Structure 1
Amino acid sequence: MQKLSNDIVVILGASVFFLLITLFIVVLLMAYKRRDYKHLKEKRLLEEDFNSQLLRSQIEVQEQTFSQIGKELHDNVGQLLSTSRMLIGLAERSLQTPPDTLLTANATIGKAITELRSLSKSLDKDWLSQFNLLDNLKAEVLRVNAGNAISANLHIHAEPVLPSSKQIILFRIIQEAVQNALKHSNCKVIDIYFYRKGTDAEITVADNGTGFQNKENKGMGLKNMQYRTKLLGGTIHHESSIKGTSIVIVIPQTLETDEN
């Protein structure tokens, strides 16, 4: 009986010993895994920080380059065009009946000067902070209507309340939707609607074209729009039929101005 008790004690002692060894090994493995995870996390953060710093540096260099190009366009090319227009104007006034070609040339250079000023302004490094979504969309609508083949219309039922950094991304989404309609829908009318849906901004780009007739056209540009909408924390979906296509974008917006 005494021998049996001793055997039980030995077995229990051995079991406890092996259990402690097992727990110790498990704790070591968990500590290693935790340290390994921390190391990988720190490495990923360092890589992200490096990529972020690299991207920021690239953007700064691009901003400086674009700013210089914009200044050159405005100061040099713009001045040359203005001088040319002035000379054409002098020629017009010296003629009793200026030919239509001269009048057309004057008008064309005037339009070129306007476009050049707009371009040089967009290349300025302060352009992003001053970006206005609706103003740029109005200019986009004017460009579409200038061709006289398609009628584009902007309907603003509620102005979106977004910082300029988000406005420019939203502008590219809408611009992509308009370009898709121009290229693939065979439409005659494009309507852009702005609504407020609760605390969100809802934008619809609708055309009266023939819709997406095949999968290839259906996918063109939509991935870019989906990706950019996701960056804004919003959603996007489209409906297409033989009567036309509607793309609906819903973006969360800041409503600080509504609270004042």
Structure 2
Amino acid sequence: MQKLSNDIVVILGASVFLLLITLFIIVLLMAYKKRDYKHLKEKRLLEEDFNSQLLHSQIEVQEQTFSQIGKELHDNVGQLLSTSRMLIGLAERKLKTPPDALLTANATIGEAINELRSLSKSLDKDWLSQFNLIDNLKTEVIRMNAGSSIKVSLEIQSEPDMPSSRQIILFRIIQEAIQNALKHSSCDHIAIHLNKNNRHIEIIVADDGSGFKTGIFNKGMGLKNMQYRTKLLGGSIRYQSTEKGTSIIILIPENSQQNED
């Protein structure tokens, strides 16, 4: 009987010991998991901070470059065009009946000067800091409809709430999507839709062209520039193509940790 009692005590002792060992292992695993999760979280935050700083630096470099280019265009190229137009004007006044080619050249240079002024203004740093996606999309649509046989429409259901630096990059993505449609789709109409979808800005650039195969799109047209810019904004881009046309769908988080102040 005494032996049985001793065996029970041993068994109970061993069971308690194993239980304690098991609990100790579980606690260690939980601590490891917690530390691992904390490490991954810190790594993700560091990556996000790095991406944010990278984007901020790229924007600063672009702004400085654009500002310098705008100044050069206005001060140098603009001055040369103005001088050329003045000389053509002097030649016109010396001729009783100026040839049509001379009159056309004068008018063309005048248009070039106006375009150059608009371009240099758009590259100005102050203009960039006040950039508005919607206003520039409307201007772009008017410009394309005036100079192209392809009709471009714009539908805005809600306006984005994001810094101007992010709006500029988004505008470049949309511009590239439009240019791809103009160059490759043989379409008659391009529709641009802008809406908010689950805290994301959703942009769809759709055309009524003939569509294309996946390989042709990736090799011939390419998504690299649009994909790179979309990644900078923490978004995603995809496309759908059928024989009735192609749609490029862009999703950009309206507010994210990558936003600059």
* TM-score range normalised by the length of the shorter chain: 0.7 to 0.9
**Counterparts of 1:1-260 in structure 2 under 5 Å?**
1-126=1-126, 127=128, 129-139=130-140, 142-143=143-144, 146=147, 150-154=149-153, 156=155, 158=156, 160-163=158-161, 164=164, 167-168=167-168, 171-187=171-187, 189-192=188-191, 194=193, 205-207=206-208, 209=209, 211-219=210-218, 220-221=221-222, 224=226, 228=230, 238-241=240-243, 244-247=244-247, 249=249
After superposing the two structures, state which structure 1 stretch, 31-40 or 159-168, moved more.
159-168
Cα distance in 1 for residues equivalent to 2:216 and 2:176 = 13
Question: Greater CA deviation, 230-239 or 28-37?
Answer: 230-239
Deviation at residue 185 of structure 1 after TM alignment: 2.5
- Counterpart CA distance in 2 for 1:86 and 1:159 is 47
- Give % identity: 61
Range with bigger deviation, 190-199 or 58-67: 190-199
Query: 1-side partners of 2:154 and 2:52: how far apart?
Result: 38
Identify the range of structure 1 (115-124 vs 168-177) with the bigger mean alpha-carbon deviation.
168-177
1:28-61 deviation line (CA, Å, top 9, x unaligned): 2321332233234324423432343243234323
Secondary structure of 2:96's counterpart equals: coil
For residue 105 of structure 1, report the CA deviation from its aligned partner: 2.2
- SS of aligned partner of 1:153: strand
Unaligned runs of 5+ in 1: 255-260
- Once residues 96 and 140 of structure 1 are traced to their aligned partners in structure 2, the CA distance between those partners, rounded to angstroms, is 42
User: Structure 1 residues 65, 85: CA separation in 2 closer, same or farther (over 3 Å shift)?
Assistant: same
* Mapped contact 1:88–1:102 kept (Cα < 8 A): yes
* Secondary structure of residue in 2 paired with 1:119: helix
Structure 1 length-normalised TM: 0.72
Q: In 1, distance between residues paired with 2:145 and 2:95?
A: 35
Task: Tell me, yes or no, if the aligned pair for 2:204 and 2:250 is still in contact at 8 Å.
Answer: yes
How far did 1:204 drift? Answer: 5.6
Work out the number of aligned pairs and report it. Answer: 246
Q: CA RMSD in A?
A: 3.9
Aligned-partner residue type, residue 124 of structure 2: D
User: Is 2:154–2:192's contact at 8 Å kept on the other side of the alignment?
Assistant: yes
Q: Which runs of 5+ in 2 are unaligned?
A: 255-261
* Cα distance in 1 between the residues matched to 2:41 and 2:10: 46
- Per-residue Cα deviation, 1:165-189 (whole angstroms, up to 9, x for no partner): 66545544543343233222333x2
User: 1:236 and 1:230, CA in 2 relative to 1: closer, same or farther beyond 3 A?
Assistant: farther
Q: Once superposed, which parts of structure 1, at least 4 consecutive aligned residues long, lie more than 6 Å away?
A: 195-202, 232-236, 250-254
Bigger relative contact order, structure 1 or 2 (CA pairs below 8 A, ≥6 apart): 2
For residue 130 of structure 1, give the secondary structure of its aligned residue in structure 2.
Answer: coil
Cα pair 1:160 1:194 within 8 Å, conserved: no
Evaluate the alpha carbon distance shift between residue 69 and residue 170 of structure 1 in structure 2; reply closer, same or farther with a 3 A threshold: closer
Q: State whether residues 85 and 106 of structure 2, in contact with CA within 8 Å, keep that contact through their aligned partners in structure 1.
A: yes
Measured in 2, the distance between the counterparts of 1:97 and 1:52 equals: 63
